[in-house]
Chains A and B, each alone.
Chain A
Amino acid sequence: MSDKTPWPEVIELLRPATGETVYMVLTATLLAVVGGLPLGVMLHLTSPAGLNPNPPAHRVLGVVVDVVRSVPFVVLLVVLASFTRFLVGTAIGSTAVIVPLTVGAIPFFARLTANALREVDTTLVEAAITTGASRLRIVWTVLLGEARAALVGAVGVTAVTLIGYAAMAGAIGGGGLGTTAIQDGYQGYDDRILYSSVILLGALAWGMQLITDFAAKIVDRRRVVTSA
């Protein structure tokens, strides 16, 4: 093992790689929320405890979500290669990786959403029903509104998971810190690059968690009242 590359060059290498990883993760997270939130809401609404119980629909949604969720991400990358090529013209590079990242994250976020909505007390939903509120309003104001802190937390968990997936995609040419770590670090026998990449990945995950935890706290209006 040797440290061939001088620090300034390492930094030059890691800077765009970090940018790519952030780009992949943020884009995929955003798309996962856009796709997963409605799916999670449907999953909850059709459940036996939901506003619109529909056992067949609930079962179908549940199976789809759980099957996709249980496919290992590496397999998903390969399986979706031709779909990705069709969608973005190529199967390698960070933009291409966003496709499998999103496909993997949508059911993940959907499940987290459904779980968060399940925690909303049915008394609140029933109280809203008695006011004559429409279903859409109840979903928006009561379910999503009351679960907002949990949902922001779910965004954080999804983003952190995607940082790991994005790095994994780097192994097969996905770009970003994962590719740098494997190609320049591991295969290039350069510990300096390898460990710097790993530390950066960890820092990204930690930072992401920190930011979303803080955001969850900001949006949460519940306060624990301590009797003085």
Chain B
Amino acid sequence: MITVENLTKSFPHDNGAVVALDNVSMQVPDGAVCGVVGSSGAGKSTLARCIALLDKPDSGAIRVDGTDLVALDGKSLRAARRRIGVVPQGDSLLRQRTAAGNVALPLEAANMSAPQRRSRVAELLDLVGLSDKAPVYPDQLSGGQRQRVAVARALAAQPSVLLADEPTSALDPSTTDSVLTVLDRARSELGVTVLVVTHDMAVVRRIADDVAVLEQGSVVEHGKVLDLVSEPGSRIGSTLLPETDQGSAVPAAGIGHDVVAEVVLVGFAAVGALLPEASNRFDVELSILGGGLTRLGDTPVAKFRIGLSGELSESALKWMIEHDAHVRRAPVSVDGVAA
């Protein structure tokens, strides 16, 4: 488990200081994948560098399994670094060393014996699916393969936390997928807590359990992805879920319905059955006015704008809420037209 507590970091600037991180706190439970997202300049890189123990924060703590790593230096800092495996932003492999040589680097730093090192390197390359590339130099690997070697290197010293800083920023969508698969496997097979700093929402969509949204150096949203998406007004929700607002394209969308609402449905059961069942049970006519279906990790999630007609429309809506649908009433004007 990694905990970031009240992290503050500012950089000197022409006139005064620029605050890059302002009292940032977050927590990632054991074995979870947390995405740290935000637009450029939000403080993502600074946060990543602080957690990688490359920059020292002005104040605050970074705890891995309870130990504050910020306070350490010298030999104890070097030992502590092995608890956080880092996939740095950009190309970080030694070009004069083979893939295996790069993965071995942290093991050499930990003074592991050569035979042990060899078998560990083989395991790691196998984990990232690059066993056959052991003797190959980075210049002969593709961008995605290089990044997977970097992940293997980060995992070499058996850290409890894996930090990846923009691991997919230089990759196309299909290679991005191979890197994300490897990060996901690190979590599921090694139980590592994964922190992915990224501007790419596809990363969050694919592998994140948790998410933290940074804005101007502050965490503005933090929690489980599936919890956040169903909260009204969530930034993550509005980014990850399908658009329901069709604006003026369908001006009469609400006309003729007794109730117009937005529903967020999470999970197979809800997505598959909740709406038709409500319609049957209360004998209301249900039409979908907008929205759609998506997938967050392995969980299907839907966001629909629905119109209900029938005497029991209100009861149907209430029943849906009782059955874990997240419903937000659309503002409806007096004559039944959705505003």
Give the interface of A toward B (CB within 8 A).
121, 123-124, 126-134, 137, 141-142, 145-146, 148, 220-225
Q: A123-B91, A137-B108, A223-B139 are in contact. Are A130 and B96 (CB under 8 A)?
A: no
Query: Assuming the A-B contacts A137-B109, A225-B139, are A130 and B91 also in contact, with contact meaning beta carbons closer than 8 angstroms in the complex?
Result: no
Partner of A123, one of B80, B84, B92: B92
**Beyond A130-B85, A131-B81, 4 additional pairs, beta carbon < 8 A:** A141-B94, A146-B94, A220-B96, A221-B139
Assess whether B53 is interfacial by the CB under 8 Å rule: yes
* A130 x B157 contact (CB < 8 A): no
Of A121, A126, A132, the residue contacting B82 (CB under 8 A) is A132
- State the main secondary structure of chain B at its contact with A: loop
Check if A129 sits within 8 Å of B81, measured CB to CB. Answer: yes
Asked if B318 lies at the interface with its beta carbon under 8 angstroms from chain A, I say no
* Cα A124 to Cα B89 with chains together (Å): 10
Helix, strand, loop or mixed for chain A's interface?
Answer: helix
A225 to B93 alpha-carbon distance, docked (Å): 16
A221 engages B95 (CB within 8 Å): yes
Are A127's CB and B96's CB within 8 A? no
Question: Which A residues are in CB contact (< 8 Å) with B106?
Answer: 131-133
Pair A146/B95 contact, Cβ less than 8 Å: yes
5 residue pairs bridging A and B, Cβ less than 8 Å apart: A123-B92, A126-B52, A126-B88, A130-B54, A132-B110
Q: Which residues of B contact A145 (CB under 8 A)?
A: 94, 96-97
Query: Which residue of A123, A133, A220, A225 contacts B89 across the interface (Cβ within 8 Å)?
Result: A123
- The answer to the question of B140 belonging to the interface, with a C-beta cut-off of 8 Å to chain A, is yes
Nearest CB in chain A to that of B150: its residue: A127
B81 and A130 within 8 A (CB) = yes
Distance A145 CA – B84 CA, assembled complex (angstroms): 25
Q: Which residue of B lies closest to A130 (CB)?
A: B86
Contact of B140 among A137, A141, A223 (CB under 8 A): A223
Select A132's contact among B78, B88, B90, beta carbons within 8 Å.
Answer: B78
Q: Is the CB of B53 within 8 A of A130?
A: yes
> Contact at B96–A134, with CB atoms within 8 Å?
no
State in angstroms the CA–CA spacing of A221 and B93 once bound together: 13
Cross-chain contact B139 with A134 (CB below 8 angstroms)? no
B90 touches A123 (CB 8 A): yes
Q: How far is the CA of A80 from the CA of B92 in the complex (A)?
A: 46
Q: How many residues of B contact A (CB 8 A)?
A: 35
Give the residue name and chain of the B residue nearest to A144 (CB): B96
Please, which residues of chain B bring their CB within 8 A of the CB of A223? 137, 139-140
Query: Which of B80, B90, B105, B108: most chain A Cβ within 10 A?
Result: B105
Chain A residues with Cβ under 8 A from B154's Cβ? Answer: 130
Q: Is the CB of A132 within 8 A of B137?
A: no
Q: CB-nearest residue of chain A relative to B95? A: A222
B187 an interface residue at 8 Å Cβ cutoff? no
Provide the bound-state CA to CA distance between A223 and B95, in Å.
Answer: 9
User: Is the pair B105, A141 in contact by a Cβ cutoff of 8 Å?
Assistant: yes
Given contacts A123-B89, A146-B95, contact A134 B105 (CB under 8 A): no
Q: Which of A133, A220, A221 contacts B109 (CB 8 A)?
A: A133
Residue of A nearest to B142 (CB): A225
B153: interface (CB < 8 Å)? yes
Q: How far is the CA of A220 from the CA of B140 in the complex (A)?
A: 14
Establish whether residues A148 and B96, one from each chain, have CB atoms under 8 Å apart when the complex forms. yes
Partner of B96, one of A123, A133, A222, A225: A222
Q: Flag whether B79 is at the interface (Cβ < 8 A).
A: yes
Within the complex, the shortest CB–CB distance from A56 to chain B, in Å, comes to: 21
User: What chain B residues lie within 8 Å of A124 (beta carbons)?
Assistant: 92-94
Interface centre among B91, B92, B93, B108 (most CB of A within 10 A): B92
Complex interface: chain A residues within 8 A of B140 (CB): 223, 225
The answer to whether B90 and A134 have CB atoms under 8 Å apart is no
Contact with B88, one of A127, A133, A142 (Cβ below 8 angstroms):
A127
Known: A126-B54, A225-B139. A133 touches B105 (CB 8 A): yes
CB distance from A125 to the nearest CB of B (A): 10
Tell me the complex Cα distance, A151–B157, Å.
31
Residue of A nearest to B138 (CB): A222
Check B109 against A132 for contact (C-beta < 8 Å).
yes
